[in-house]
Amino acid sequence: MSTLVGKKAPSFKANAVINGKDIVENYSLDQFIGEKYVVFFFYPLDFTFVCPTELLAFQEKLAEFEKRNTAVVGCSVDSQFSHWAWLNTEKKHGGINSVTYPIVADISKTISENYGVLAGEYDIDEEGQSVFVGEPVAYRGLFLIDKKGVVRHQLVNDLPLGRNVDEALRMVDALTHFEEYGEVCPANWQEGKDAMKASSDGVADYLSKH
């Protein structure tokens, strides 16, 4: 698995479900270039256990992302029809029927492969047949993509480990602060706290206050 930080986010066109109900073709993150930041996250499968907690947690904070001019987009190796069914299942039955942000269908697994989060790989067995070794699903990968389409933050969790949505918001704040003020953000930085100038004088000034 290689890092994509500092590189152009891999482009794709795929089926997706938007607004919790509409199936669209040729959905692409390219529509946000020059317009919005993107938090693009992968999860293993629909109709599972940890996954709905994550998707619902992103929905709960969706207004916060939107205030930061940031689009949230999910993706798994399920089909658009599975996404649609899950989105139209009530939460008390394991569904995510309140989610409104787009969910991309990566049934070919090529998007997961290109982002380096597929939990396994294709190989050739002793009989010359193509086989998949590992889990044919995506790790819990998250990518913060800037308005130029460049990945600025990447986080990949193993399948059992759910993510912290507030940390994703903090990363958006940190990137926005850097782009606006040219200041770098130290450990545990949060919006409203002091940042640092990227120079020895700036670091010394910051440290003298803390």
| pLDDT confidence bin for 132, thresholds 50/70/90 | confident
User: Taking the CA atoms of the chain, what radius of gyration do you get in angstroms?
Assistant: 19
- Among candidates 114, 87, 104, which has minimal Cα distance to 43? 104
- Residues 52-101: pLDDT tens digits? 999 999 999 999 999 999 999 999 999 999 999 999 999 999 999 999 99
> What pLDDT is stored for residue 208 in this prediction?
41
DSSP letter assigned to residue 11: P
> What pLDDT is stored for residue 186 in this prediction?
85
Predicted TM-score of the model (pTM): 0.91
Helices (H), 88-164: 110-114
Model confidence at 210: pLDDT above 50 = no
- Residues 135-172: pLDDT tens digits? 899 999 999 999 999 999 999 999 999 999 999 999 99
The residues annotated as belonging to the active site are 51
Q: How far is CA 133 from CA 52, 113, 166, 174, in A?
A: 26, 13, 34, 38
> What pLDDT is stored for residue 1 in this prediction?
55
Q: Which CATH class is domain 14-162?
A: alpha beta
Q: In b/e form, how buried is each residue of 74-113, taking b as 16+ CB within 10 angstroms?
A: bbbbbbbebbbebbebeeeeebbeebebbbbbbeebebbb
> What pLDDT is stored for residue 172 in this prediction?
98
Q: How far is CA 114 from CA 128, 145, 158, in A?
A: 25, 15, 17
Q: How far is CA 49 from CA 45, 97, 133, 162, 182, in A?
A: 9, 15, 23, 10, 41
Q: Where are the domains of the chain?
A: 14-162, 164-210
> What pLDDT is stored for residue 114 in this prediction?
96
> What pLDDT is stored for residue 157 in this prediction?
97
| pLDDT confidence bin for 124, thresholds 50/70/90 | confident
| pLDDT confidence bin for 192, thresholds 50/70/90 | confident
Residues near 5 by Cβ (< 8 Å), separated by ≥ 6?
151, 152, 153, 154
Q: Return the number of other C-beta atoms located less than 10 Å from residue 151's C-beta.
A: 20
Maximum average pLDDT range among 22-26, 123-127, 134-138:
22-26
